[in-house]
Amino acid sequence: MVRYRVRGGNALRGTAFIQGAKNAVLPMIGAALLAPKGRTVLRNVPIIEDVRRAVELAEAIGAYVELHESERTLVIDASKVNSPILPAEIARRFRGSVLFTPALLHRLGEAIVEGVGGCNLGSRNLDFHYLGYKRLGAIVDEGETVIHVKASGLTGATLYLDTPSHTGTENLIMAAALAKGTTVIENAALEPEVLDVIDMLTKMGARISGGGTGFITVEGVEELHAVEHTVMPDRLDAGVFAMAAAITGGEVSLVGTGLDLGVVRYKLEQMGVEFHRQGAVLHVGCEGPLRPINIITDTYPGFATDLQSPMMTVAALADGTSYIHERIFDGRFALAGELNKMGANVEVEGSRAVVRGRTPLTGTQVTAHDLRSGIALVLAGLAAEGETQIDSGYLIDRGHAHLAARMRALGADITREISER
Ligand SMILES: CC(=O)N[C@H]1[C@@H](OP(=O)(O)OP(=O)(O)OC[C@H]2O[C@@H](n3ccc(=O)[nH]c3=O)[C@H](O)[C@@H]2O)O[C@H](CO)[C@@H](O)[C@@H]1O
Ligand SMILES: C=C(OP(=O)(O)O)C(=O)O
């Protein structure tokens, strides 16, 4: 069991190196498997547990993979992919396993999905994925635990997503990229990570237009080839380090953000956090007390649901009452109970939470229920008095690379331990 221990009270100062994006690298590994020959090279790969699981899963279906950790580089040769089975013991440990289906369909004519994991956030349906495959000509047999998708060649069609699903959009683009004819995906996701995946697929030879508009057109091609691609920076990792600077009254320079933090920056600015860009470096600091905030999560360019939990911690440390409305997932408030154990005052009703700050936080034993509640508890620990012990730290490691080392470099008192229980 992985456990983080955080002793609060230190202001974070220095330079934080932002990792490559988890939600871009996972579909890119799925995309690399579409190339029947050659070696794909992915750079700026975050060394996170989800990437390790993706490597294991790619190997389980016959791909040759090298993960060069210190170079943050993945080399993938998918020429020998030979098994359609995504085995439960790996596939159930992360969400990205769902992104292997298009490659298996194109390469082997079938995919046997023994399970899909990911954060436990309430309902996480996959109907848009499977309905989309069916409209492209696949046969989908949804058993209780195993899903079998078969296709002897896909044909382009018009697809509509009821809501702009992130992985749903990526999967349907990958399925359409090698289908016969034209596919139109209406109400497609707009997230920057989706656009980065489109960039990589385009380099591979795919013909995709309309990325970022909500209406994506894919002209099927005969074959895709292996390429080199650099994964975009992780805006969620960047957001967390910005919040860590803000709640500890420190000042951190973010290197590798490469993109604007968008609405997260504006919300933190409303709370009193100061941002200042100097060329490629984004400086974040906060001197005065934090002001309360209202947040409504939404698909891009709205406030990212993945930063809702970290922001709940920041709200607990603000002077006044903040309001949070979670609109993407129906079970994403598991953090509230844990934060309250530390002295916060968070009340949840349905999809809304009221955070009454500022209450002093005190370190205690708490549990990560998912990746983002885990990192939100690390933030709480940085601002709490005494020691906070965060159990189920594997969930944090799913999405943040070398977290303890990167935070220690900024002056945080944080350790990561592995124990029997
Ligand atoms: C690996 C990855 O990229 N994970 C991200 C991705 O997850 P993921 O792609 O799973 O999230 P989706 O965008 O698909 O899901 C958003 C909402 O749509 C619903 N839905 C989705 C698909 C479907 O077929 N039917 C359906 O009803 C889900 O139940 C959920 O309520 O986007 C989420 C929302 O930004 C992020 O929190 C995750 O970090
Ligand atoms: C929900 C998340 O991830 P996943 O979809 O991989 O479970 C997340 O990153 O917060």
Instruction: Check the annotation: does 52 bind a ligand.
Output: no
Write out the two tokens for 182: 């034209």
Within a 10 A sphere around the Cβ of 27, how many other Cβ atoms?
Answer: 29
- pLDDT by residue, tens only, the chain of 421 residues: 999 999 999 999 999 999 999 999 999 999 999 999 999 999 999 999 999 999 999 999 999 999 999 999 999 999 999 999 999 999 999 999 999 999 999 999 999 999 888 878 888 889 999 999 999 999 999 888 899 999 999 999 999 999 999 999 999 999 999 999 999 999 999 999 999 999 999 999 999 999 999 999 999 999 999 999 999 999 999 999 999 999 999 999 999 877 678 899 999 999 999 999 999 999 999 988 999 999 999 999 999 999 999 999 999 999 999 999 999 999 999 999 999 999 999 999 999 999 999 999 999 999 999 999 999 999 999 999 999 999 999 999 999 999 999 999 999 999 999 987 6
The dihedral built from the CA positions of residue 239, 245, 248 and 249, taken in this order, carries a sign that is negative
Q: Is the CB of 95 under 6 A from ligand 1?
A: yes
Query: How many residues are there in the chain?
Result: 421
What is the homologous superfamily of the domain 22-225 according to CATH? Enolpyruvate transferase domain (3.65.10.10)
166 CA to centre of ligand 1 in angstroms? 6
Interface confidence: ipTM more than 0.90: yes
164 CA to centre of ligand 1 in angstroms? 8
Contacts of 396 (CB under 8 A, 6+ apart): 2, 4, 368, 371, 374, 375, 378, 390, 403
Comparing CA positions, the residue from 70, 2, 90, 47 lying closest to residue 399 is 47
Within a 10 A sphere around the Cβ of 17, how many other Cβ atoms?
Answer: 15
Domain 2-19+233-418 identical in fold to domain 22-225? yes
The radius of gyration of the chain's CA atoms, rounded to the nearest angstrom, is: 21
The catalytic residue positions are: 119
Q: Which amino acid is at 276?
A: H
Q: Is the CB of 306 under 6 A from ligand 1?
A: yes
Instruction: Check the annotation: does 247 bind a ligand.
Output: no
94 CA to centre of ligand 2 in angstroms? 8
Preceding amide of 301 cis, omega within 30: yes
Q: Is the CB of 375 under 6 A from ligand 2?
A: no
Within a 10 A sphere around the Cβ of 269, how many other Cβ atoms?
Answer: 12
Instruction: Check the annotation: does 306 bind a ligand.
Output: yes
Upper half-sphere CA count for residue 311 (Cβ side, 13 Å): 34
171-201 b/e (C-beta count within 10 Å ≥ 16 → b) = bbbbbbbbbeeebbbebbbbbbbbebbbbbb
Q: Is the CB of 235 under 6 A from ligand 1?
A: no
Yes or no: say if 219 and 243 are a contact pair by the CB < 8 Å rule.
Answer: no
| CA–CA distances in Å: residue 138 to residues 32, 99, 135, 217, 254 | 21, 16, 7, 19, 45
pLDDT of residue 195: 98
Atom of ligand 1 nearest to the CA of 170: 9
Q: Quote the CA–CA distance of 236 and 255 in Å, as a whole number.
A: 14
Domain boundaries, the chain: 2-19+233-418, 22-225
What is the homologous superfamily of the domain 2-19+233-418 according to CATH? Enolpyruvate transferase domain (3.65.10.10)
- 274-278 vs 281-285, strand pairing mode: antiparallel
E-strand ranges in 30-114 read: 39-43, 64-68, 73-77, 85-86, 110-113
- 139-142 vs 147-150, strand pairing mode: antiparallel
